[in-house]
Structure 1
């Protein structure tokens, strides 16, 4: 666990950073209520709605986490000129997060969750096929060349909705490498993106196995050495952090296993967005000059704060400092 002094110094450095997030932005809509009766029309609960809340989701939640930890942030993604798009840009502007609108068609991605007594009853998704959000190849360099130069690090947030493509990842990686910027990715194996030569990837346990092409037998321990070695051979990513849920974070540099950081979560109410928090905090700490171990300890505290809240949430510097050294 990092000390309060280390966390304080790190947060001070983070406050001077600018981070660019590129990915699948979405609006998270929560309907809060209670259900005490069954509908006479069908065997389903009737929800009496008490209130509605909205927050940034997907790549926009990564940006929100970055801003909440004190850095300046710009997020690039598809914002339609619809009610969800306007609400999402309003939320981001309220946290001083700048936006880059990427070309596309269709609706702003909207996820509506119905919660009854703080338990999720169902989720309703409104989105278009990935082709609607794909950025034309010829526009990628013009969109992101100057933006990458103007920021200290780039985060690619993939929710498999269509913004990130092989060409976009390759182009942005090339610009980042040329400009000496840190670049990180939270990959989704089902998208099978071709990425290489990044500074950080943050798959969870299942995603790491899929990316590595490893299928362990049921009941056997996680094959950490094999997975880390294969991921480095395949993708040449400098740093790998595998989020292992209740088992914490497994660290690896250049294919070699490092430490496992125990989870900092005290109570778990909702894991929604915890991966976004980890990605944001890890990237910020690395961009601030921290070692991978210190960055992981910092991210672990931030994720521990978030899972103790209901719904997509963020961690503040005050909450980080309250848990540091404990």
Structure 2
């Protein structure tokens, strides 16, 4: 675990960091209520709604986590001219997060979760087909070149909704490399997105196996050495951090196994958005000059706070320092 003085010093440096997040933004809508009877129309519960709450999801939640830790942030994604887009823009503006609306015909992605007595009953998704979020390859450089130059780090946040394509990733990576900027990706292997020469990727255990093309074997330990070597061979990523749930974080640099950071979580209430927190805190720490082990311990503590909250959530510097102190 990172010490309080080390975390405080790192947070001070993070305040000067500027991060550009490009990816699939969403509005997370929560309907809270209670269910005490079954509908006479069908064998389903009747939910008496008490309240609605809204927060940023997907790539927009990564941005919220960056801003919550004190860094400056811009998020780029599809903000359509609709109710969800307006609501999401206001949430981000209230946190002083700048926005870049990408062209397209897709609606603003909205995920509505119905919760009864703090248990999720169902989820309702509103989104367009992936093609509706894609950007013309010719427009990518014009849209992002200036923003990349004015930020210290770029995060590509892929939720497999369509915005991130091979062309976009290649162009953004080229611009970031040319400008000497840190670039990270949270991949979704089911999309088989092409990428290479990044500073950091943060798959979970299942995603790491998929990216490496290795079949999971429930009867044997996770093949860490083989996975890390294979991922470096395929993608030439400098840092690899595999989030391992209750087993913590596995670190690898240039294909070689590093340390395993034990989980810092003391109470797990909801893992929604924990990956966003891990990615955001790793990137701001590394961009602020932390070594990979220090950054991972910092990120592990931040994730430990967030999984103790319900729904997609963020961690503030005060919450983080208090958690470490305990």
Instruction: State if a TM-score over 0.5 links the two structures.
Output: yes
SS at match of 2:293: helix
Query: Structure 1: how far apart are the matches of 2:33 and 2:228?
Result: 44
SS at match of 1:324: helix
Deviation at residue 191 of structure 1 after TM alignment:
1.0
| Aligned residue in 1 for 2:49 | 49
SS at match of 1:260: strand
Structure 1 unaligned blocks of 5 or more: none
Give runs of aligned pairs for residues 136-151 of structure 1, distance below 5 A.
136-151=136-151
Mapped contact 1:216–1:223 kept (Cα < 8 A): no
| Aligned residue in 1 for 2:242 | 242
| Aligned residue in 1 for 2:3 | 3
Mapped contact 1:2–1:325 kept (Cα < 8 A): no
SS at match of 2:74: strand
Match status 1:256 vs 2:256: yes
Deviation at residue 178 of structure 1 after TM alignment:
1.0
Query: Structure 2: how far apart are the matches of 1:324 and 1:34?
Result: 35
| Aligned residue in 2 for 1:93 | 93
Query: Structure 2: how far apart are the matches of 1:46 and 1:206?
Result: 36
Q: Deviations over 1:152-203 (max 9, x none)?
A: 0000000000110111111111111111110000000011111000000000
Give runs of aligned pairs for residues 75-94 of structure 1, distance below 5 A.
75-94=75-94
Q: After the TM superposition, which of the residue ranges 245-254 and 216-225 deviates more from structure 2?
A: 216-225
- CA RMSD in angstroms comes to 0.7
Give runs of aligned pairs for residues 7-86 of structure 1, distance below 5 A.
7-86=7-86
Give runs of aligned pairs for residues 1-326 of structure 1, distance below 5 A.
1-324=1-324, 326=326
SS at match of 1:99: strand
SS at match of 2:211: helix
Deviation at residue 323 of structure 1 after TM alignment:
2.0
Query: Structure 2: how far apart are the matches of 1:106 and 1:275?
Result: 25
Mapped contact 1:17–1:288 kept (Cα < 8 A): yes
Deviation at residue 218 of structure 1 after TM alignment:
2.7
Query: Structure 1: how far apart are the matches of 2:80 and 2:296?
Result: 35
Query: Structure 1: how far apart are the matches of 2:280 and 2:214?
Result: 27
SS at match of 2:185: strand
Query: Structure 1: how far apart are the matches of 2:321 and 2:177?
Result: 33
Query: Structure 1: how far apart are the matches of 2:285 and 2:325?
Result: 17
* TM-score (ref. length: structure 2): 0.99
Q: Deviations over 1:97-127 (max 9, x none)?
A: 0000100103100000000111100000000
Mapped contact 2:153–2:283 kept (Cα < 8 A): yes
Q: After the TM superposition, which of the residue ranges 253-262 and 211-220 deviates more from structure 2?
A: 211-220
Structure 2 unaligned blocks of 5 or more: none
Q: Deviations over 1:250-269 (max 9, x none)?
A: 00000111001111111111
Q: Deviations over 1:191-234 (max 9, x none)?
A: 11110000000000000000000113332110000000000000
Query: Structure 1: how far apart are the matches of 2:324 and 2:238?
Result: 27
Q: Deviations over 1:283-326 (max 9, x none)?
A: 00000000110000000011111110001100000011112255
Q: Deviations over 1:128-161 (max 9, x none)?
A: 1100000111100001111000000000000000
